[in-house]
Structure formats: structure tokens, C-alpha cells
């Protein structure tokens, strides 16, 4: 297995989904860090592998650390001209980092391609609107090994 670090830049807002009266929040671990569930990443990885046309079985062995390296901001999601819901959010152009363990036999460049495809067409956002591709689209900026 090989550990890599990925830097992502959001293209559309990535929104928290835990309902509160004043602001919908992201899930957090015991230390207060934002976390994304592995099932959310799995959906994105499955999509990317299918789009790439290979590694559909290998993506099941990819492990993404749940902690997200980046501070969320606040975003007002309007659903009527003067009505909105405030969410914790990673904003467009905001960069975050994640740690990933790649299984043996999955080249880093193939991972880059399938992850980028997933980021462009599926995205990752705990809150999903009516259009499943509305929130959490991202670019994969860089991958560093180790």
C-alpha cells in the first residue's frame, strides 16, 4: 500500500448537512476536525472508476482518512429570493487536504484520473440538493507521496 496526500480545490460549495436552527454543520470527530464518511468517498471513487473504465474492484481497497484539512466558512443557500439556510461550507476556490492509502496495483496516475473524474462530475458534499451535482465539485490540484 502507498500513502498519498491530495489537495483539492472546490469549484462549487461543499455544504454541511447536520441540521441546526441557525446553521447546518459538518460532522466532526472528537478533536473537532471535520470528517467525511468513507461511503461518500466510495460513491465518488466508484463513479470515477466506471468513467475511467478500469479499477472498479481496486477502488474498494482505497482508504481515505475521514479528516478534512481545512477550515469551513459560512454559506447562505437560497431557496427563495429572500429565504435562505446557512451552512458550514467549503467555498469555491477553497483548498483542502486529505490523506489516502492506495492499494498495491493501483498506479498513482490512474488514481489521479479516476479521482479527478469523480470530482468533476459527482463531487463530494454531505448536503445534496435536488441536482446531485450541484454541490462539492472539485479539482484535484496535486498529489504528494508519503
Per-residue model confidence as pLDDT tens digits over 25-62: 999 999 999 999 999 999 999 999 999 999 889 999 99
pLDDT at 132 (0 to 100)? 66
3-state secondary structure of 114: helix
What CATH number corresponds to the domain at position 63?
3.30.70
- Number of domains forming the structure of the chain: 1
Is pLDDT at 129 greater than 80 in this prediction?
A: no
Q: Using an 8 Å Cβ cutoff, are 59 and 38 in contact?
A: no
- For 96, the domain range is 2-145
C-alpha cell of residue 131: 441536482
Q: Using an 8 Å Cβ cutoff, are 103 and 62 in contact?
A: yes
Per-residue model confidence as pLDDT tens digits over 68-96: 999 999 999 998 999 999 999 999 999 99
Q: pTM here?
A: 0.93
Q: What is the dihedral of CA 7, 12, 16, 17, to 10 degrees?
A: -130
Distance CA 137, CA 121 (A): 7
Amino acid at each position: 500500500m502507498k500513502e498519498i496526500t491530495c489537495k483539492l480545490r472546490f469549484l462549487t460549495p461543499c455544504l454541511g448537512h447536520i441540521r441546526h436552527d441557525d446553521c447546518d454543520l459538518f460532522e466532526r470527530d472528537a478533536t473537532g476536525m471535520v470528517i467525511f464518511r468513507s461511503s461518500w468517498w466510495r460513491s465518488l471513487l466508484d463513479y470515477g472508476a466506471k468513467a475511467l473504465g478500469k479499477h472498479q474492484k481496486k477502488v474498494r481497497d482505497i482508504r481515505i482518512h475521514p479528516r478534512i484539512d481545512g477550515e469551513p466558512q459560512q454559506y447562505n443557500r437560497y431557496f427563495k429570493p429572500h429565504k435562505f439556510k446557512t451552512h458550514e461550507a467549503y467555498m469555491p476556490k477553497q483548498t483542502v487536504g486529505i490523506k489516502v492509502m492506495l492499494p498495491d496495483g493501483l498506479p498513482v496516475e490512474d488514481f489521479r484520473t479516476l479521482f479527478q473524474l469523480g470530482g468533476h462530475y459527482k463531487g463530494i458534499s454531505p448536503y445534496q440538493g435536488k441536482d446531485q451535482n450541484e454541490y462539492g465539485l472539485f479539482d484535484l490540484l496535486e498529489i504528494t507521496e508519503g
